[in-house]
Amino acid sequence: MSAHKTLKLIGFVSIAISLSFGALFASAQEKFGFGKPAHPDEIARYNSDIHTDGSGLPDGSGDVALGAEIYEYQCALCHGEELEGVPEMGANSLHEGRRDIKKLPYASSLFDFIRRAMPLTDPGTLSNDETYGLVAFLLNETGVIKDDNLTLDAKSLAAIKMPNRQNFIIDPASRFTAEDLQ
């Protein structure tokens, strides 16, 4: 059988399969019925992500001093005392290049990532206060917000306008529109 015929046959079989599903269910409302309903409490246990408008940010607050303390014993080993990065530990500078904190479009991305994935060997162990404190420390340290007394919570973090925000664009070669991104 030629490759062309094989492909034609595959095409025919996939049409046949989709038709058979049409016949499987009497109406569009009918379902396979697999899976269990997710209880709101269960969703809440996993739903940790944060949107750019700050929705999803948890209660709590933290300041630069708390962040500096946490940074010293949880982060500096890999990210360096001055945020310069320790390549032997696998961490690049947070002052320049792709990990440059100043260049992030939203502070929410930073909070979300630290809470989600850091510290590398023990992620998910930082409290909300500690995470807010770390974001405050990092923004102060990188000069985004020069304020040694900066304290962040859900409201103040959501209000931060990162200086590089306007330099982020969507890929003109892709099919996205500005409306997709809002």
**Which of 16, 21, 59, 149 is the binder for other proteins (CB under 8 A)?**
21
> How far apart are the C-alpha atoms of 129 and 67, rounded to whole Å?
9
Say how far apart CA 18 and CA 36 lie, in whole Å. 25
Burial class (CB in 10 A: 0-12, 13-18, 19+), 25: exposed
In angstroms, the CA 7 to CA 149 distance is 67
Piece of 58-66, 112-120, 131-139, 144-152 that binds other proteins (CB under 8 A): 112-120
Subset of residues 132 to 151 that bind other proteins, contact rule: CB under 8 A: none
**Taking CA 52 as the corner, what is the angle to CA 47 and CA 54, rounded to the nearest 5 degrees?**
65
Choices 60-68, 84-92, 133-141, 145-153; region in contact with other proteins by CB under 8 A: 84-92
Q: Does 35 bind other proteins (CB under 8 A)?
A: yes
- Minimum distance from residue 10 beta carbon to other proteins (Å): 9
Supply the minimum distance, in Å, between the C-beta of residue 60 and other proteins. Answer: 19
| Contact partners, residue 31, CB within 8 Å, separation at least 6 | 25
When binding is defined by CB under 8 A, the residue of 61, 69, 103, 151 that contacts other proteins is 103
DSSP annotation of 58 reads P
Phi, psi angles (nearest 5°) of residue 148: -65, -15
Question: Smallest distance, Å, CB 94 to other proteins?
Answer: 10
The one-letter code for the residue type at 70 is I
CB of 164 to other proteins, least distance (A): 8
Binding site for other proteins (CB under 8 A): 3, 6-7, 17, 21, 31-38, 42-43, 46-52, 78, 87-90, 97-100, 103-106, 108-110, 112-113, 116-117, 120-121, 123-124, 164, 167-171, 173-176, 180-182
